[in-house]
């Protein structure tokens, strides 16, 4: 890696928003470290970015459900003499059904990937950014973290709300040192997410104006973190939803969330 090119570490880089972050940052002249579970997809993406943008791309496959993964990633980067300038904490997924419908091991893995791993990666990589006087951290949260949580996918909204508050605190702590931190909070985004959660048939019934492409979500996220926004919600519709819900009494907002969520949640109730 050359010192002139920023280096970005992207988790969950094999598809969707993570892969799009890789493409757009490579187009901006970044070198990349890509991590996810699916090695074949990472290697395919790495080849694409090397050919199209001349980026140097390191592929470090790992499952962030493994508690040792963040330290392993950090130590591997140090051994290779790589200093991370941008951290994109993107890895995530949903667990369909109600809380008691899944084994604890399923929830433990989810919490490790969605909460512990991004928190630890930030803890391990922020000191270097602060010493160098420049860095960017994007924690991919969700509009779900701003609105009442529905039944089903019980831990998803809670984990995203955590990332939002975590990002706000980190932004205040690190901006004086040249490091910007942003919670990116997309709403419905075209990706494989709903195929994995087996809700694609329900999601396809939602009107098109409620959706954004991963390309647009990432474009806005990069602009927002460069601008110094601690939280950014892409899309006017999503920002309206967040503002509208906050103006409602809590009981009414929760009732509305419960009614509307039946369109796109597999609750298992």
Catalytic residue among 93, 156, 162, 264: 156
Q: What is the 3-state secondary structure (H, E, C) of the chain?
A: CCCCCCEEEEECCCCHHHHHHHHHHHHCCCEEEEECCCHHHHHHHHHHHHHHHCCCEEECCCCCCCCCHHHHHHHHHHHCCCCCCEEEECCCCCCCCCHHHCCHHHHHHHHHHHHHHHHHHHHHHHHHHHHHCCEEEEEECCHHHCCCCCCCCHHHHHHHHHHHHHHHHHHHHHHHHCEEEEEECCCEEECCHHHHCCCHHHHCCCCHHHEEEHHHHHHHHHHHHHHCCCEECCCHHHHHHHHHHHHCCHHHHHHHHHHHHCCCCCCCC
93 is catalytic: no
Residue numbers annotated as active site? 156
């Amino acid at each position: 890696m050359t010192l002139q090119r920023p280096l970005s570490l992207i988790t969950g880089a094999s598809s969707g928003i993570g892969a799009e972050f890789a493409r757009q940052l490579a187009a901006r002249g970044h070198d990349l470290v890509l991590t996810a579970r699916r090695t074949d997809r990472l290697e395919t993406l790495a080849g694409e970015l090397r050919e199209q943008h001349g980026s140097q791309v390191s592929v470090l496959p790992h499952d962030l459900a493994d508690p040792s993964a963040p330290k392993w990633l950090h130590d591997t980067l140090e051994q290779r003499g790589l200093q991370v300038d941008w951290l994109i904490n993107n890895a995530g997924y949903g667990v369909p059904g109600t809380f008691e419908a899944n084994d604890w091991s399923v929830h433990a893995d989810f919490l490790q990937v969605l909460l512990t791993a991004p928190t630890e990666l930030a803890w391990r990589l922020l000191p270097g950014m602060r010493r160098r006087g420049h860095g960017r951290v994007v924690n991919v949260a969700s509009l779900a973290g701003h609105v009442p949580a529905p039944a089903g996918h019980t831990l998803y909204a809670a984990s995203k709300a955590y990332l939002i508050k975590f990002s706000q605190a980190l932004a205040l702590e690190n901006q004086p040192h040249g490091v910007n931190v942003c919670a990116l909070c997309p709403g419905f985004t075209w990706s494989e997410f709903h195929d994995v959660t087996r809700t694609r048939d329900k999601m396809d019934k939602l009107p098109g104006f409620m959706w954004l492409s991963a390309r647009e979500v990432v474009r806005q996220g990069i602009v927002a973190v460069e601008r110094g926004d601690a939280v950014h919600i892409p899309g006017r519709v999503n920002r309206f939803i967040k503002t509208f819900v906050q103006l409602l009494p809590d009981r009414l907002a929760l009732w509305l969330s419960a009614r509307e969520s039946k369109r796109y949640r597999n609750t298992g109730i």
